[in-house]
Amino acid sequence: MPGATDTKPTKPLKNPCNLCQSVRAILKRPKTGQQLCKECFFHVFETEIHNTIVDNKLFNKGDRVAIGASGGKDSTVLAYVMKLLNDRYSYGLDLILLSIDEGITGYRDDSLETVKRNRDQYQIPLLIVSYKDLYGWSMDDIVKEIGRKNNCTFCGVFRRQALDRGAIMLNVDHIVTGHNADDIAETVLMNILRGDLPRLQRCTSIITNDTSEDSSGIETSKILRSKPFKYTYEKEIVMYAYFKKLDYFSTECIYSPNAYRGHARVFLKDLEAVRRTAIVDIIHSGEALSASVQANESTKLPTMANCTRCGYISSNELCKACLLLEGLNKGLPQLGIGHTTKIRRMHEAANLASGLSSPVSLSSAVADGSAEEKVKVVTHIKDLGQLETMPTLDSV
């Protein structure tokens, strides 16, 4: 017919994105099984984290927030997404990167270079705090002393306190960490396997707020901690970092293969291979168990006070970090791990057998310069004034 135009039938799009239907899908979400294009994946990934932040009311406008930055995939994506969402939704947050240098040669020194690049890429200030400056020991020193067994116990205790110390230096209101859904599910499994039900409440809470009492007996609030990635799968974080071409450090800690957590991780991956919702199902189960444990007075966590040596929050007279440091400095690295009381008694018996009326204290050994005790001058932060020698935002 005159004026008619030939039109070729369009071929149906092969494997279209489940959301936009206009672009070919290039990935399958591990969490839901949806087949998505790259842009739709970015959208749902970022929107889910935004909804987690808003639904749980993690921040208040004007909050000064420290991002725990290790240079790994989780913290790098966290820093990128926090800045993105802060700008997109006008959270009004003042963001700062806070890194802990554990002193692991060939691992942490390299990953901190990644953090420094992230600082420049995202234009977020950075503070680095080291174990060596805080405690007088690096993780390399500790491993030489105790071997490769229980080293993750030392690192975990010291890192948690170091983050708080760094946050105090920065005068922040809030610390966010890159703990993802896999990490939380693993911790739930570990606590159940250990029979440590009281700690389920802490590990399943998206936001925690330790409290202690000051010298007048008035309860004081500590810095808030939260996990915006609580329901975000590790595989999706890796996919996001890959497609966004983010700069992150991917080498595993050289001391972590011996960690107990590794067994829970292998078990969890086997479960996920059979049932993709296993990770979030375990988290929800942990939340339900936590609620029942919380209602039981006999299984509640102990009341928090302050460590008599360093002033840090603790449920005992000495905080865990001080106890571990005492063991290191006295050549008793097992002090604070496992049967602490038994090891203390053995040490006291050895002192008495040597003709000492009482155990040699850490402070007296330092004062006397006793070489036999092999103590180091730096045992802990007893006064925040000692932090004046730490790097500042301007010097890093």
359 pLDDT more than 50: no
Q: Find the helix or strand (DSSP H, E) in which 350 lies.
A: helix 340-353
Q: Across the strands, what pairs with 36?
A: 27
Please report the pLDDT score of residue 14 as a whole number. 86
Residue 226 CA, distance from chain mean position: 10
Distance CA 204, CA 210 (A): 15
Query: What's the pLDDT band for 373 if we cut at 50, 70, 90?
Result: very low
Same domain, 266 and 328: no
Same domain, 231 and 361: no
Same domain, 355 and 210: no
Query: What's the pLDDT band for 380 if we cut at 50, 70, 90?
Result: very low
Q: Is 100 annotated as a binding residue?
A: yes
Q: Tell me the per-residue pLDDT of 150-178, one tens digit each, with 9 for 90 and over.
A: 788 888 899 999 999 999 999 999 999 99
Same domain, 195 and 331: no
Per the CB < 8 A criterion, the answer to whether 110 and 70 are in contact is no
Q: Is 184 annotated as a binding residue?
A: no
Query: What's the pLDDT band for 216 if we cut at 50, 70, 90?
Result: very low
Same domain, 137 and 189: yes
Please report the pLDDT score of residue 194 as a whole number. 84
Same domain, 45 and 110: yes
Same domain, 372 and 233: no
Q: Which residues, other chains included, contact 71 with Cβ-Cβ below 8 Å and sequence gap of 6+?
A: 99, 111, 112, 113, 114, 115, 118, 248, 249
Q: How many domains does the chain have?
A: 2
Q: Tell me the per-residue pLDDT of 221-263, one tens digit each, with 9 for 90 and over.
A: 468 999 999 999 999 999 999 999 999 998 888 887 767 788 8
Query: What's the pLDDT band for 366 if we cut at 50, 70, 90?
Result: very low
Q: Is 109 annotated as a binding residue?
A: no
Query: What's the pLDDT band for 301 if we cut at 50, 70, 90?
Result: low
Distance CA 143, CA 149 (A): 8
What b-and-e string marks burial along 270-280, b requiring 16 or more CB atoms within 10 Å of the CB?
A: ebbeeebebbb
Q: Is 178 annotated as a binding residue?
A: yes
Read off the tokens for 223: 């810095």
Please report the pLDDT score of residue 258 as a whole number. 66
What b-and-e string marks burial along 320-349, b requiring 16 or more CB atoms within 10 Å of the CB?
A: bbbbbbbbbbbeebbbbbeeeeebbeebee
Distance CA 162, CA 394 (A): 20
Instruction: Please check whether residue 25 lies inside any domain of the structure.
Output: no
Against a cut of 0.75, is the pTM above it? Answer: yes
Identify the CA nearest to 198 among candidates 303, 93, 124, 327.
303
Q: Is 106 annotated as a binding residue?
A: no
Q: Which residue has the tokens 């808003």?
A: 54
134 pLDDT more than 70: yes
Q: Is 92 annotated as a binding residue?
A: no
Please report the pLDDT score of residue 225 as a whole number. 94
Same domain, 281 and 367: no
Q: How many helices (DSSP H) and strands (DSSP E) are in the chain?
A: 14, 12
Same domain, 94 and 179: yes
Instruction: Please check whether residue 30 lies inside any domain of the structure.
Output: no
Instruction: Please check whether residue 310 lies inside any domain of the structure.
Output: no
Instruction: Please check whether residue 69 lies inside any domain of the structure.
Output: yes
The pLDDT mean for the chain works out to 81
Same domain, 326 and 300: no
Instruction: Please check whether residue 106 lies inside any domain of the structure.
Output: yes
- Cα–Cα separations (whole angstroms), residue 56 to 105, 205, 207, 226, 230: 39, 10, 8, 10, 11
CATH number of the domain within which 263 lies: 3.40.50.620
Q: Is 281 annotated as a binding residue?
A: no
Residue 353: which domain range?
320-383
119 pLDDT more than 90: yes
Same domain, 249 and 369: no
Same domain, 282 and 328: no
What 214-221 contacts at long range (C-beta under 8 Å, 24+ apart), as own/partner pairs, is 214/306
The domain boundary residue, chosen from 270, 305, 340: 305
Distance CA 156, CA 150 (A): 10
Distance CA 109, CA 138 (A): 12
Instruction: Please check whether residue 31 lies inside any domain of the structure.
Output: no
Query: What's the pLDDT band for 382 if we cut at 50, 70, 90?
Result: very low
Please report the pLDDT score of residue 120 as a whole number. 96
